[in-house]
Structure 1
Amino acid sequence: MTIEKHDLHHEFPEMADEIHELKTSNAHFAKLFDQYHNVDQQVRRIETGVENTSDEFLEQVKKERLNLKDQLFQMLKAIA
């Protein structure tokens, strides 16, 4: 099974400059970015079998990742 990459640079490659700008100039964005990265890593560990959890927990973590991505995207759109 191929595991897709969901880091922000793969999700929004056209916004690489905006991601960099906000990471360095906006503390709230940087905090959300770090949270997103950590949650994405957790999902990848579960999906690759490094961590074993219930399907319900995996779905919960994926929803958290999606919520963070939505928040980050809204901030990126605001400066694009």
Structure 2
Amino acid sequence: MTHVPHELQEEFPEAAEVLHQLKMANPHFQALAERYAQVNHEIHLIESEVQPASDMAAEDLKKERLVLKDEIADLLRDAGAIG
């Protein structure tokens, strides 16, 4: 499998340990992280031209990924993992 850019560990490298802890202890965070990974993978398939999609569908997925990333960042900020 090829490398999928925008993984949470790459987006928040300074918070790797807290990412893991929140995934294990916080069901809401776990659901957000799983949905982020799913959306990110779909975007990667579209951008790699493995899966066809309209420009609108691709943009909608990118917007969803951004919303998820913002919510994840808020939870990491609350946990003191990022500034």
Fold shared by both chains (TM-score > 0.5): yes
Q: Which residue of the partner structure matches residue 38 of structure 1?
A: 38
> Is structure 2 residue 36 aligned with structure 1 residue 68?
no
Cα distance per residue 1:19-70 (max 9 Å; x no partner): 0110000000000000000000000000000101111110000000000000
Give the alignment's Cα RMSD to 1 decimal. Answer: 1.3
Distance (whole Å) between structure 1 residues aligned to residue 62 and residue 38 of structure 2: 12
Map residues 1-80 of structure 1 onto 2, 5 A cutoff: 5-80=5-80
Size of the alignment, in residue pairs?
A: 78
Percent identical pairs in the alignment equals 40
Q: Structure 1: which 4+ aligned runs deviate by more than 2 Å?
A: none
TM-score, normalised by the number of residues in structure 1: 0.93
Distance (whole Å) between structure 2 residues aligned to residue 64 and residue 52 of structure 1: 18
TM-score, normalised by the number of residues in structure 2: 0.90
Which residue identity lines up with residue 75 of structure 1 in the other structure? L
Whose helix proportion is higher, 1 or 2? Answer: 1
Distance (whole Å) between structure 2 residues aligned to residue 28 and residue 61 of structure 1: 20
Which residue identity lines up with residue 44 of structure 2 in the other structure? R
Q: Secondary structure at the match of 2:33?
A: helix
Structure 2: give runs of 5+ residues left out of the alignment: none
